[in-house]
């Protein structure tokens, strides 16, 4: 691919709750992205967006987030599993930005205090990803029993996650480069 521009991969921390255990997972993935040459990760914490709930679509968009999503080559969504589902504020963000997502890959990371590691939240997000125009990759990262994965300061306790994230990012970056080439060079007739 001829572009010298780094592959931009925003990582969306998909919850606004206090004490959220998904924050260390989102920071870890962002850090792993930024360790790679030619990639640039950017953490987007939806708790800091000041989400409006009085309207929908473009009327509630955060202009800075919209710009970041337009420039993004791929996304990672880190979503905690709340009662088999995903947080409402994450759904609001997904629903409020549509044209920004078209033909871009997304990797999903599920976070859970239980042993399934957010598998059910990922299952519930898959049809939403398709509907908003994102292309899912076939690797996920599941943070099972997240309270045992990070210490109280957010430091990783289980280094096996670095290998899992590496495999996940390899697929995501391949898809990001492939789909960026397609968006830039192949007209959609």
How far apart (Å, rounded) are the C-alpha atoms in residues 179 and 116?
31
Could you tell me if 78 and 29 are in contact, meaning their C-beta atoms sit under 8 angstroms apart?
Answer: yes
Per-residue CA distances from 15 to 12, 21, 58, 174 (Å) = 9, 10, 21, 27
Assigned domain for 161 exists: yes
Report if residue 2 sits inside a domain: no
- Give yes or no for residue 184 having a pLDDT over 80: yes
In-domain check, residue 1:
no
**pLDDT tens digits along 121-141:** 999 999 999 999 999 999 999
Structural domains in the chain (count)? 1
Is 3 or 143 the better-scoring residue by pLDDT? 143
pLDDT, greater one: 71 or 51: 71
**Positive/negative CA dihedral, 158, 164, 168, 174:** positive
Predicted TM-score of the model (pTM): 0.95
Q: Which domain holds residue 78?
A: 7-185
Residue 61 or residue 57, greater confidence: 61
The pLDDT score that the predictor gives to residue 174 is 98
When pLDDT is averaged across residues 162-185 and rounded to a whole number, the result is 97
What backbone torsions phi and psi does residue 13 show, to the nearest 5 degrees?
Answer: -85, 105
Q: What local confidence, expressed as pLDDT, does residue 3 receive?
A: 66
Q: Once rounded to an integer, what is the mean pLDDT over residues 168-184?
A: 97
Q: In the structure, what pLDDT confidence band is assigned to residue 112 with cuts at 50, 70 and 90?
A: very high
Q: Is residue 56 part of a domain?
A: yes
Q: Is 60 exceeded by the pLDDT of residue 144? A: yes
pLDDT tens string 84-108: 899 999 999 999 999 999 999 999 9
pLDDT in the model for residue 1? 45
Residue 55 has pLDDT above 80, yes or no: no
Pairing label, strands 75-80, 39-45: unpaired
Mean pLDDT of the chain: 94
Residue 12 falls within a domain, yes or no? yes
CATH code of the domain covering residue 75: 3.40.50.360
pLDDT confidence band for 180 (50 / 70 / 90): very high
Q: Say what percent of the chain tops pLDDT 70.
A: 98
Residue 76 lies in a domain: yes
User: For residue 121, what are its two tokens?
Assistant: 């939240």
């Amino acid at each position: 691919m001829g572009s010298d521009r780094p592959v931009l991969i925003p990582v969306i921390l998909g919850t606004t709750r206090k004490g959220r255990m998904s924050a260390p997972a989102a920071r870890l993935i962002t850090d792993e992205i930024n360790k790679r040459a030619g990639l640039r990760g950017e953490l987007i914490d939806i708790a800091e967006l000041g989400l409006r709930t009085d309207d929908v679509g473009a009327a509630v968009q955060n202009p800075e987030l919209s710009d970041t999503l337009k420039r993004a080559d791929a996304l990672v969504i880190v979503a905690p599993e709340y009662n088999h589902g995903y947080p409402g504020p994450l759904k609001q963000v997904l629903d409020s930005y549509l044209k920004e997502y078209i033909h871009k890959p997304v990797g999903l990371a599920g976070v859970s205090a239980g042993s399934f590691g957010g598998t059910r939240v990922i299952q519930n997000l898959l049809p939403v990803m398709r509907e908003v125009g994102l292309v899912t990759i076939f690797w996920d990262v599941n943070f099972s029993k997240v309270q045992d994965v990070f210490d109280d300061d957010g430091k990783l306790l289980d280094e096996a996650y670095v290998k899992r994230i590496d495999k996940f990012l390899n697929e995501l970056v391949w898809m990001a480069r492939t789909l960026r080439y397609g968006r830039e060079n192949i007209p959609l007739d």
